[in-house]
Amino acid sequence: MSDEKGKTREVGIYMCTFCGYIFDEEKEGKSIKELDKCPPCQKPAYVFKLLTKKTVPVKEPE
Ligand SMILES: [Zn+2]
């Protein structure tokens, strides 16, 4: 018996401490780890701090 329904994953919302740019992993469709620099200010990704985490449903491709 396996229950594939209700699969979730945890994503984070991060903010650039330099310019205030918000990076939402769910919206961007990628992890903060894949971001090498902040798009607006070009600072390296380590200036981002975690604002909050959220759990979102995983959408399986058909
Ligand atoms: Zn920035």
The domains found in the chain, sorted by start residue, are 9-55 (2.20.28.10)
Q: What is the pLDDT of residue 62?
A: 74
30-58 pLDDT per residue, tens: 999 999 999 999 999 999 999 999 999 98
pLDDT above 80 for 15: yes
Q: What is the pTM of this model?
A: 0.80
CA of 57 to the centre of ligand 1 (A): 28
What distance in Å separates the CA atoms of residue 43 and residue 19, rounded to the nearest whole number? Answer: 9
CA of 22 to the centre of ligand 1 (A): 8
Tokens matching residue 60: 């399986």
pLDDT above 90 for 21: yes
Do 11 and 29 form a contact (C-beta atoms < 8 A)? no
CA of 13 to the centre of ligand 1 (A): 14
> Mean pLDDT over all residues of the chain?
92
